């Protein structure tokens, strides 16, 4: 192949990739964990540090994992949506409190309501790394076999729940 053609060809390929990126949702962060089993972990409960939670406890159930923090403004934005959704008892929500202070997290749940069936405490954020979490909030849908089926980065809305998560709610 003629070397003079490589430069324009590389430019066209790069321009194509950049053009394609203009139409992608910046909140749609691809996760290599989609279609894979949930990470194995055991984290202390937020309300009782002597008790732990493991995803194994949710086997046989479809559930959401919501990574949140008291210091996170977008988490506050999505909180009413999670409260409303939790009242429907469609699927349980496990809250993973991320890089936070236990007292601050408990205060948020006490004053604004608690949408979580279970709240776990990831004080250092180390367990979140296993989930591929970039920051809070992030929400994962896990099926009854313990496979991650969907992920959303940023605050969830009713539309996101309906479009991205609801199709997976049946076991």
Give the per-residue pLDDT at 32.
73
- Spatial contact of 78 and 157, defined as CB atoms under 8 Å apart: yes
pLDDT of residue 112: 97
pLDDT at position 55 is 96
Measured in whole angstroms, how far is the alpha carbon of residue 80 from the centre of its chain?
17
At 134-147, the pLDDT tens digits run: 899 999 999 999 99
Q: So what's the pLDDT on residue 18?
A: 52
| Contacts by residues 38-43 (CB-CB < 8 Å, ≥ 24 positions apart) | 38/65, 38/131, 38/140, 38/142, 38/146, 38/147, 38/148, 39/127, 39/130, 39/131, 41/127, 41/130, 43/96, 43/120, 43/121, 43/122, 43/127
Q: What is the pLDDT of residue 41?
A: 87
**pLDDT confidence of residue 102:** 98
What is the pLDDT, as a whole number, of residue 170? 83
pLDDT at 27: 47
Q: How much is the pLDDT for 21?
A: 47
Ordered by where they begin, the domains of the chain are 28-168 (3.40.30.10)
pLDDT by position in tens, the chain (length 171)? 566 655 665 556 555 555 544 554 454 555 678 999 999 889 999 999 999 999 999 999 999 999 999 999 999 999 999 999 999 999 999 999 999 999 999 999 999 999 999 999 999 999 999 999 989 999 999 999 999 999 999 999 999 999 999 999 986
């Amino acid at each position: 192949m003629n070397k003079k053609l490589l430069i324009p060809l590389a430019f066209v390929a790069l321009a194509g990739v950049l053009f394609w990126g203009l139409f992608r949702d910046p909140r749609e962060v691809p996760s290599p964990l989609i279609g894979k089993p949930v990470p194995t972990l055991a984290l202390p409960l937020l309300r009782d540090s002597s008790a732990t939670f493991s995803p194994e406890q949710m086997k046989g159930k479809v559930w959401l994992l919501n990574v949140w923090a008291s210091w996170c403004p977008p988490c506050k934005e999505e909180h009413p949506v999670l409260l409303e959704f939790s009242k429907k008892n469609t699927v349980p929500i496990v809250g993973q409190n991320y890089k936070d202070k236990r007292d601050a997290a408990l205060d948020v749940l006490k004053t604004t309501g608690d949408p979580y069936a279970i709240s776990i405490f990831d004080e250092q954020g180390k367990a979140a790394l296993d989930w591929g979490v970039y920051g809070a909030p992030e929400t994962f849908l896990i099926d009854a076999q313990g496979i991650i089926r969907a992920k959303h980065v940023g605050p969830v809305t009713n539309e996101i729940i309906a479009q991205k998560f609801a199709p997976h709610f049946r076991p």
